Amino acid sequence: MIPSVTLIVFLLIVFILVFLFVNTIDKRKWLTFIISVIATPFVYFYGFYPMVNIFSSYHHEKYFDSSSWKDNPSLRYEMSDDLVESKELIGRSKGDVKFLLGNYEWLSWNDSIHGKDANYWNYGLGIEPGAMNDQKDNMLIVFKNNKVVDVELYQAPILELEPTGSEQNEDAEE
């Protein structure tokens, strides 16, 4: 673990809170200090840190890497911001995009042609970790004249699969 300013500040806050709590139990400062020094890492890593991760939407970000994109589809959200901000795909052909990202996962619907449009490629980016997250991240790549003109990130609700007919019949029999 790399000590950062944020880590040190949070550890100090947790230490002060643990010290104040232990001080209510025993008034001997030297004993309170020793117990607080020993207890602070446990309280921080098993109490404070998990709660921060559950309720914050922070996630690790990585630079775009084509092989990681293809090998770990559920972690694409870590590279998506870099891919959009660097404008890596703008101006590239469909063949280049297919080489970098692999085959599209689905095509977007176009009402004007009443069908799926081959100029709107979609990729699933995975689900960002968090307790309150009910959205999955996706990326839309828009082509015009066989060149990428826009890359957009959007969220869609996570859909639960409904049981098939045979699974429903088994449930009804029980």
Provide the pLDDT for residue 162: 61
Higher local confidence (pLDDT), 145 or 111: 145
Please give the average per-residue pLDDT across 143-171, as a whole number. Answer: 76
Percent of the chain whose predicted confidence (pLDDT) is above 90: 29
Mean of pLDDT values over 53-74: 81
Q: Give the pLDDT confidence score for residue 95 in this predicted structure.
A: 94
The token pair at 3 is: 């000590």
pLDDT score at 75: 84
Mean pLDDT across the stretch 63-70?
A: 90
| SS3 call for 62 | coil
Size of the chain, expressed as the number of residues it contains = 174
d(CA 110, CA 71): 30
Among 3.30.1450.10, 3.40.50.1820, 3.65.10.10, 1.10.3720.10, name the CATH number for the domain at 66-157.
3.30.1450.10
Amino acid making up residue 51: M
Note the pLDDT of residue 171.
47
Report the pLDDT value the prediction gives residue 89, as an integer from 0 to 100.
Answer: 93
Inter-helix orientation angle 29-43/5-25, to 10°:
130
- What is the arithmetic mean of pLDDT over 157-171? 60
Q: How confident is the model at residue 150 (pLDDT cuts 50, 70, 90)?
A: very high
Which residues, in sequence order, are CB contacts of 138 under 8 Å at separation 6+?
122, 123, 124, 125, 153, 154, 155, 156
Q: Is there a contact between 19 and 38 (Cβ–Cβ < 8 Å)?
A: no
Per-residue confidence (pLDDT) for residue 135, from 0 to 100: 86
Are 55 and 108 in contact by the 8 Å Cβ rule? The answer is no
Lowest mean pLDDT among 40-49, 108-117, 161-170: 161-170
pTM for the model: 0.63
- Angstrom distance (rounded) from CA 158 to CA 125: 12
119 pLDDT band (50/70/90 cuts)? very high
3-state class of 120 per DSSP? strand
Comparison of pLDDT for 61 and 39, the residue scoring more? 39
Q: How far apart are CA 144 and CA 172, in angstroms?
A: 51
- For residues 127 and 75, is the Cβ–Cβ distance under 8 A? no
How is the chain split into domains, by residue range? 5-55, 66-157
